Every structure is written in C-alpha cells, then in structure tokens.
Structure 1
C-alpha cells in the first residue's frame, strides 16, 4: 500500500472514530434527556398526587369541624384531636399520607377589631421592642415604649385619609422610602404588618425579646377570643392590660378550669379574680373561624394547602385558599 492509500486509510479510521464518538455522545445525551424528562414527569405526577391529598385533607378537616355540634369549642374536641394525631403520625391514604393542622383563629386577638385606645393598651402590654444595630462596637440599640408610634403608623395604614398622625406615616413617607403606599383598609394578611412603618420581622416572628405576633394575632372573626382555645401568651397579654402585676397567677387560675362550657361560667370565674367587665367581655367559648393547614405527602414530595374557613351550623365555608406554601419561619 502506497503512502497516499495509507494516509486515506488513516483519515478514514479517524472519520469513523469521530462518527462513533458523535453518535455515542448523541445517544448518551438522548438517554440523559429522556431520563430527565421521565424524572420531570414522575415528579410532576407525585406533585399532583400530593396536591390532591392536601385538598382531601382540607375536606377532612371541614367535615371534622361540621361534626362538632357542641355549644363550646376547646382543645379536646374531635377536630382538635384529629389535628394533633395527624401531626404526630400522618394518616395513610392510598400510596401517600395526609396531615392536617386545625387552629382556632378566634383563639387569637383580632387586630382589625380593636379601636385606638385598645390598640395602645394592647401594644403596651405586649412590651414590643424595636432593635437596631448600633454604629459603635456593633451593640444593639433597643427602642422600648414604642406603642404610640406603632398605633399611629398602623391606623394611618388602614384609615381612608392621607393625613399623618403625630407619629404615623402616610403615602408621602412611603413614597420617599420607595415602599408600598398605605392600603387604606383593614389588613388582608398579618404579613402586611411588615410593610408598615415601625413594625419589624423581630416582632412578627418573636425575636430580640419580642412575643411572636404571628401566633398571637388574627384578622378574622368579630373580635372576641375563645377562652378555651387561646394560648397562654394571648391570654396573658389581655389580662396585662388591666392587671399588669398579677397577670401571671390569674392566667394560671383561669387556664386551670378550662374548658368553660358557657360564657356565663367563664364570667363567673373571672369575676372572682377582680377582672372588669371590659376585660371579661373580650372572651367567649364558641368559635366560627378556623385555619386549616393540610399537607399531602407522596414519597419525598410534599404539597401544602392553607385555608381559612367559617363554620356556621352544618356549613363550613372556605374564605381563603392558598396553595404551594413551603412552610413558615
């Protein structure tokens, strides 16, 4: 074989090797692409299944609330036990699991239902703090006794005018800060507090010595608090408005005798500890508004649905529906 033929043979071999490499590369890429598409399809299917389970969890919670026909609500009702048990061990459904968290929204203080004087007393009882990092030695600067600032800013946010209160803020302030302007209506979510001048994430999520407002406040219901389902923190914050120095042992006593089956039963007990009608009338024993957090689980995939429902007789209407939640701080 002459040199020219040898050279052609070598070129041919290289060409074959190149084609082989390209073909194998394309095959490998095609395999990876098909495997990725299969993974996406399987993941999407699991997501849809988990979402369906979460929706089923919402209906399960609604059914549990409707079946509760007592004249009072407390934390030993069937709906509360269902919530507790499914949090401990999710319920098996088909090839997945469901957990439901049911919380009484009326076990919290409704911020939208309070007037100016009540807000001042309440924020003072909460002892909210605003903490900033100082310029010297990185020491925190703690602002206390800020209830007047917070109330003025909050009321300016929800009122219908554009006139600033003494320590408040209206649209001019927010435009300068390049922030959302006041909504001029009651809060739509608690997270909206973070848009209002003076309020901080430390207050909402209980950092830097603040109570966790996210667990203590609501924007639903007529305003009275269910004495049987409320937390110690919420109850103490209300009692402190009138009895700042003896609230601790009064709260102990009132919680010891739960559940109260009638409003009159609680009012009688509260009167023994010198609580005024103004404080006593803030509480009740029956609830209408509940929050349901339903989680559907398929393998490692979780889908969460959060709803606010209003129970009335044999109905449990959905007022708010949120999907695709990834949990809270």
Structure 2
C-alpha cells in the first residue's frame, strides 16, 4: 500500500500560522467590541435611570405646586367667606361681641370643607386691643398700657422698661426729633449695630413696634411662663377706643385702673359670653350691672366702645404636608372691607 507523501513547503507553514493568528485577532476584536457594547449599554442605562429620576423629581415638584395652588384657591375662598361674615354682621347690627358669627367660626377650629379641602378660618377682633398709634393723643390709652405692663407677668427686664416703652412708642410716631423722657429718636436708632430710621408717623405694619426701643422679642412673644405683649397691641383701626365686649380681660382690668380681682373678671367674662345677654352688650356700660361690681369702678366711656372696625383674618389649609396660609389685617366699613396688610405663606 502506498503511503501518502507530505511535502514540506515553508510557505504552507507560514499560511497555517497566519490563519491561526488571524483567528485570534478576530476573537480579540469581537471580545473588545462586546465589552464596548456592554459598557455603552451600562452608561445608557445609568443615563436613562438618571433621567427617569429627574423626570420623577420634576413630576413631584409639579404635583406639589399643583397641590399648593389648589390649597391657595381654597384658602382664598376662606378669606371671601370671612369677608362675607364681617359685612353681614355689620349690616344686621351696630355692635360686636364674641357671640357674633364671625367670632364663633373659630370656636370649633373654624374648619370648613372647600373644594375638597379642609380650610381653617379664624377672625380676631383687633379693636379689643390697645391701639399704639393713639398713644400720643390719648392719655387714657397710655395709662392703660402702663397699667397693663405694671400689673401682669410680662418679661420686663428692668423697672424703667414700661416708661421707656411708652415714651419710645410716642417718639416713633410723632413727627419731631425731640426725645421724650426715656424715649428715643433718630440718633438712638442710627447708633445701633444695624441702624435704621424711625417712621415719625403712625405705624402701618403689624410688627413694626418690635423695632421700637425697649421692645424686644421676649417681651413681645413671651414664653411658657410669661405672657407676650403682642396679644394686646395693634397698630390698625381708625378708632382709638377699645371694644369692651371683645377686649382681653387683662386690658379690661387695665382700663379699670387695675382695681378688678379675679372673681370680678371671671364674672365679666361669663356675662359677655352668655347668649342670653347678647342684647345687653350693645350698651358699653353693661358691666356696671354685674353682681358685686364696685360702684367706684367706672371705665372712662371715652376709652371704650361696643363696635369693632379692625380685624385679623387667617385662612389656612394643609394636604400631604403642603400648607397654604393667608393672613389679612383689614378694616371694615359699611359694605366694604379694606386690606391694610396681606401675607401669603
């Protein structure tokens, strides 16, 4: 049997080695290409996820803003309801008390269902507070403020502070630069680390009095043990008289020269909060008919009234941790509500 003969040829060996080498190269290129594709897919996946997260973030922001706008619409409706209550009350009678519908709307937290939102409405009578802008022209209001500061547990730093406060408020709103007693004028305020100039005119902002010498944050807001002065003061209203039907009891006692004990003040409060007495509250001297009222205690009729014209309205709603709130300081005249200050949160 004949054997096959294999003839060695050097070029054949070369071709065989080249073929194997080329196959290796091709496999390497394919591997690199595959890795490249995997890397590209990975990068694109990260980009897509990142974009998705951004889109989700944008959607979340849009949804939150939509919710807030809906809440603002609801609280604006709450403001309109408050306006309506105040105007209706004025049209129906010529005196105000804590038994009026505008006052009792907050008794049950003032929660109303508006556009599928729970809206809290609160109306406060500012005419029951001490009108700071009347201090210069009304000595009776000045005396009542001094009595209030002297008799009750406010955060007074030193004995002279009540006098400093009253003189400084008067200097703030008068038109001259003459310093009263313990007061302060432009020179004092410009010497502060953050200088400013007093208005030299009636205050027009709710917390403007906080910039007056002798009034600090502790005195204004108080703490757990001490009352804050802010509950008893106002810069709004076109009447320097105080509504005896809505004034806080501490102001009532200050108007009475500090002569009322706790029993008389409790009797005063029960009477004006009893529905059966509502007709009597049109008289500003109704308190003199209270059992045990001292005949010698007569509040100066020039300082008091039974009618209110200045109010604070708060309308608030919340959903999913998002809140909308509108605060208004208004004055009421027949058929009209005028806004003195508005704050939206």
Q: Is the 8 A contact 1:156 1:164 kept in 2?
A: yes
| SS of residue in 1 equivalent to 2:70 | helix
Which of 127, 135, 138 is matched with 1:106 structurally?
A: 127
- For residue 34 of structure 2, what is the aligned residue in structure 1? 13
- For residue 237 of structure 1, what is the aligned residue in structure 2? 254
- For residue 7 of structure 2, what is the aligned residue in structure 1? none
State the shift of 1:94 in Å: 2.5
Q: What is the root-mean-square deviation of aligned Cα atoms in Å?
A: 2.6
User: CA 1:238 to 1:247, structure 2 compared with 1: closer, same or farther past 3 Å?
Assistant: farther
Which of 237, 253, 273 is matched with 2:295 structurally?
A: 273
- For residue 82 of structure 1, what is the aligned residue in structure 2? 105
Rounded to whole Å, the distance in 1 between the matches of 2:80 and 2:171 is: 39
Q: Is the 8 A contact 1:309 1:320 kept in 2?
A: yes
Q: Is the 8 A contact 2:144 2:254 kept in 1?
A: no
Equivalent runs, 1:125-204 vs 2, <5 Å: 125-127=148-150, 142-177=157-192, 178-204=194-220
Determine which structure has more spread, i.e. the larger CA radius of gyration. Answer: 2
The number of residues matched between the two structures is 308
State the shift of 1:231 in Å: 1.8
User: CA 1:324 to 1:310, structure 2 compared with 1: closer, same or farther past 3 Å?
Assistant: closer
Rounded to whole Å, the distance in 2 between the matches of 1:102 and 1:307 is: 10
Q: Is the 8 A contact 1:95 1:298 kept in 2?
A: no
Rounded to whole Å, the distance in 2 between the matches of 1:145 and 1:208 is: 24
When normalised by structure 1's length, the TM-score is 0.83
Rounded to whole Å, the distance in 1 between the matches of 2:36 and 2:170 is: 79
State the shift of 1:97 in Å: 1.9
When normalised by structure 2's length, the TM-score is 0.79
State the shift of 1:24 in Å: 0.6
Q: Is the 8 A contact 1:120 1:148 kept in 2?
A: no
Which 5+ residue runs of structure 2 have no aligned equivalent? 1-19, 273-277
State the shift of 1:322 in Å: 1.9
| SS of residue in 1 equivalent to 2:93 | coil
State the shift of 1:204 in Å: 0.9
Rounded to whole Å, the distance in 1 between the matches of 2:264 and 2:317 is: 41
Q: Is the 8 A contact 1:53 1:297 kept in 2?
A: no
Q: Is the 8 A contact 1:71 1:261 kept in 2?
A: no
